[in-house]
């Protein structure tokens, strides 16, 4: 059985922790982005570079256009996939993501998953998971250290 003083102290701690949580969630994305810089570099370094440019054509009535026919929508030069790898933040998520950015005018890596995992007609290069496995633990350590520093700083300035 908990006595009244201990219960009051626990309630005070819980109230203070609830005040910290929105602050950490809001600023935590910046800490995650800072920690993920090494992961982005590792994925960029591991991304394969093709030997020749390829082109993307529009679909005709739900089917892929024949090679060389139709209008060229985009030309992808070697190294495009590597340039498209970056850190992404989304409005509705407190997390950060590392992957191929889509729809850029300079580098669109829409085909990154196919290069990594392969297709029925092509074997995958398997570059993404090994890069994450090598740089991931350091990224997590850095993120936890940055978030811990932010919590300690908030605690010092707000009397915890």
Number of domain units in the chain: 1
- pLDDT band with cut points at 50, 70 and 90 for residue 28: confident
**Is residue 62 in some structural domain?**
no
Query: Which of the listed ranges 38-52, 74-88, 102-116 does the model predict with the highest average pLDDT?
Result: 38-52
131 with 43: CB under 8 angstroms?
yes
- Whether 135 maps to a domain, the answer reads yes
Q: With cut-offs at 50, 70 and 90, classify the pLDDT of residue 116.
A: very high
Helix axes 4-35, 128-157, angle to 10 degrees: 130
Report whether 68 contacts 55 (CB < 8 A). no
Pairing of the two strands 54-56 and 74-76: antiparallel
Residue at 67 is within a domain: no
Q: How confident is the model over 56-62, as a mean pLDDT? A: 72
User: How many Cα atoms occupy the beta-carbon half-sphere of 10 within 13 Å?
Assistant: 6
Q: Is there a domain that residue 118 lies in?
A: yes
Residue span of the structural domain in which 95 resides: 4-52+79-157
Residue 99 lies in a domain: yes
And the tokens for 141? 């350590």
| 23 is a domain residue | yes
- Kindly state the percentage of the chain with pLDDT values over 70: 89
The confidence score (pLDDT) of residue 120 equals 94
pLDDT score, position 65: 65
Task: Establish if 104 belongs to a structural domain.
Answer: yes
Handedness of CA 13, 17, 19, 23 (dihedral sign): positive
Instruction: Tell me whether residue 66 is in a domain.
Output: no
């Amino acid at each position: 059985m908990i006595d009244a003083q201990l219960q009051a102290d626990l309630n005070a701690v819980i109230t203070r922790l609830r005040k910290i949580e929105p602050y950490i969630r809001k600023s935590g994305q910046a800490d995650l982005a800072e920690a993920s810089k090494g992961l982005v570099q590792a994925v960029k370094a591991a991304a394969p570079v093709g030997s020749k440019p390829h082109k993307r054509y529009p679909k005709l009535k739900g089917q892929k256009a024949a090679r060389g026919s139709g209008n060229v929508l985009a030309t992808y030069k070697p190294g495009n996939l590597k340039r498209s790898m970056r850190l992404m933040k989304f409005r509705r998520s407190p997390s950060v993501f590392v992957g191929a950015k889509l729809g850029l005018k300079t580098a669109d890596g829409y085909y990154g998953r196919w290069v990594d995992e392969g297709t029925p007609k092509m074997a995958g290069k398997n570059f993404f998971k090994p890069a994450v496995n090598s740089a991931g633990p350091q990224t997590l350590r850095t993120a936890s250290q940055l978030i811990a520093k932010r919590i300690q700083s908030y605690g010092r300035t707000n009397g915890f």
